[in-house]
Structure 1
């Protein structure tokens, strides 16, 4: 990525003009996204959260074509909304315009999870250390994103907060580092834990409560082409006031739980079964309960020391 133009090379007016005109070709992991938008919060969010990301210049190709526009007519002034379209179709209802940037992040996730079937896609946070990947599948409310954000700023490389992409041909995990989604109490927790992080303005009254996004470390973005091998699959659960406890888990049970968290396991058939089985076989598998981020980070440090 050395020498490539990044979003930060565009001034705010130039970024807005490109979004409103020919579109911004933005590289996120292995994907190229053509983004058009007339929505101010989306331009501001991209300028802040994606400053370190590569612009895919001199190309007419994009994996995903995403458009975001303000509603016309009276909606421009009364309860303004943002509309999303993908390749000219509108698969979702509009949202309030102040949720525009959050909608942008959700739609990027949707594009990958519904289209990228060269990978087994698991709803999980993924981080890397020394070439080894930590996969953390977990539902909303488990503390997955908070723990992922802490680890990404304490020596681990962020591969993704939302999607583990296991490449079918070789079982490697392909990075998709993007801003980390924080919800409700996690926003204040990460502000206190990280000191002065770059976080998008919190937006309330979404389907997920109050939502904000944490800018990913620049090193994780710069190393987005470096894959990793599965080494740990850990199911986290935040439990206020409890000590950090890592408990080994049966592989057969882990297989079923990860399959339940995969977007396209059934669609891929035998290829999905083999990819997941291989990842389980190559990994140490645990459940993990924690009540302190410091204790969690220390526990994972001991885990990597044993691996080496």
Structure 2
């Protein structure tokens, strides 16, 4: 069963009671909320994702997003993110519940899932080989990942490279892709078929809207991929695409610095990155146009 199989009213009621678990990649999320707007947004954007009744089953994360007690429910309404009964963040404005849920859920993975080496990177796959796009905010990573997805690449993740230390494969975790500010309009023009949620203005990261991953990306989220390329994107408006090979030593330093848990995993993390450098090619990538960027990376994959 997928989320869209549940009628919207039944979905909202189940969300209020915490009766449903939603699967994404290797993780199972038990969600709970009384917010009608959030229930509707999740039903649309997570409609393709597998779900199951929560009764008696194990869930990796128990997450609740609701109004905090007191006057804040009515005066300048806010919402509180809770996981396993704890509230790790200050409340957010109530009209940003979906971005709050997404950021909080990512925080749960980044702070708890040390069975993986967690790379801060978008990951996409073509013909069984994976492209990692490690980058800091503002580099155009999410926009480029969404563009590649709409041009035939399978999205494994926009935020996490889940690297398995035992065999070096990457597990999928295809959550919603958050686009910010001008990237929202850019993606609407680039991929008119994209399912994009509402725009949330004036969040801590500016205007934010979420892109639903492709049906193929969600349907195949139990298929790992073998890493082949590590490409560090850097958007520069108006610049032609420029792909420059990067020495393994420099790539090692950049990639280990783009990890959520490299220091926590110790020797296992070091060996995982070292093996990744031995089995992939690394590049710096400047681009200023999505069509040209996609063509460049398509050619890299074809070669």
**2:35 equivalent in structure 1:** 39
More displaced stretch, 56-65 vs 27-36 = 56-65
Unaligned runs of 5+ in 1: none
Tell me how large the CA RMSD over aligned residues is. Answer: 1.0
Shift of 1:76: 2.3
Q: Distance in 2 between matches of 1:245 and 1:99?
A: 37
Aligned to 2:52, what secondary structure does the other structure show? coil
Aligned to 2:124, what secondary structure does the other structure show? strand
**2:63 equivalent in structure 1:** 66
Q: Which one of 266, 282, 296 corresponds to residue 299 of structure 1?
A: 296
Q: Which one of 5, 8, 26 corresponds to residue 4 of structure 2?
A: 8
Does residue 289 of structure 1 match 2:302? Answer: no
Shift of 1:23: 3.2
Q: Distance in 2 between matches of 1:285 and 1:251?
A: 7
**Cα contact 2:18–2:33 (8 A) shared by 1:** no
Count of residues paired in the alignment: 302
Shift of 1:59: 4.5
TM-score w.r.t. structure 1 length? 0.96
Q: Distance in 2 between matches of 1:290 and 1:157?
A: 21
Aligned to 1:140, what secondary structure does the other structure show? coil
TM-score w.r.t. structure 2 length? 0.97
Q: Distance in 1 between matches of 2:193 and 2:74?
A: 35
Shift of 1:152: 0.5
Aligned to 2:264, what secondary structure does the other structure show? helix
**1:161 equivalent in structure 2:** 158
Aligned to 1:127, what secondary structure does the other structure show? strand
Shift of 1:78: 1.7
Does residue 177 of structure 1 match 2:174? Answer: yes
Unaligned runs of 5+ in 2: none
Q: Distance in 1 between matches of 2:193 and 2:295?
A: 22
**1:114 equivalent in structure 2:** 111
